[in-house]
Amino acid sequence: MLQTKFVLCTLVAAGALFLLAVFSFSLLLRLDKSPNSKAGKRKQRLQKVLSVTLWGSLGLSLASALATDETTSALQYMTSSAFISSIQISTGLALRVLQWFIVGLSTLFGIGATSMCGRGTVTPSTSKDP
């Protein structure tokens, strides 16, 4: 019940946001190559859309991975106790690895995309230290 109502919805939403982020990233890269001088506002808008969708996707995939980990761990603990002896549930390693792999790749893509688009870069300070 929890898997079909909560985790599946967060996975679908994370995937949809990630696809929207990839689309806006490709549009942003295309705008960078164009010599149009009026593209400044459109570029800023696309940078905001990219930031919101990319980090929103990462947050939802992180929530999904945590929810799946916690749910399967709780089910494994409850079925291994003395209360229920006829059912034995164990967590799958492949599911955990794949979900955390997706979170890691989303993080790397987010860091790379935001640094390529001018956001997230550290500018040097102009103040003098005593």
**Over the stretch 49-82, which tens digit does the pLDDT of each residue have?**
888 999 999 999 898 888 888 888 887 887 777 6
Comparison of pLDDT for 123 and 36, the residue scoring more: 36
Q: Give how many domains the chain has, as a whole number.
A: 1
Let me know if residue 55 belongs to a domain. Answer: yes
Which domain, by its residues, includes 65?
A: 2-81+95-116
130: confidence class by pLDDT, cuts 50, 70, 90: very low
Let me know if residue 107 belongs to a domain. Answer: yes
Q: Is the pLDDT of residue 15 over 70?
A: yes
Please tell me whether the overall predicted TM-score, pTM, comes out greater than 0.75 for this model. Answer: no
Let me know if residue 124 belongs to a domain. Answer: no
CA gap 28, 22 in Å, rounded: 10
Q: Which long-range contacts (CB under 8 A, 24 or more apart) does 62-67 make?
A: 62/103, 63/10, 64/7, 64/10, 64/11, 64/14, 64/99, 65/96, 65/99, 65/100, 65/102, 65/103, 67/2, 67/6, 67/7, 67/10
φ and ψ at 118, to 5 degrees? 95, 0
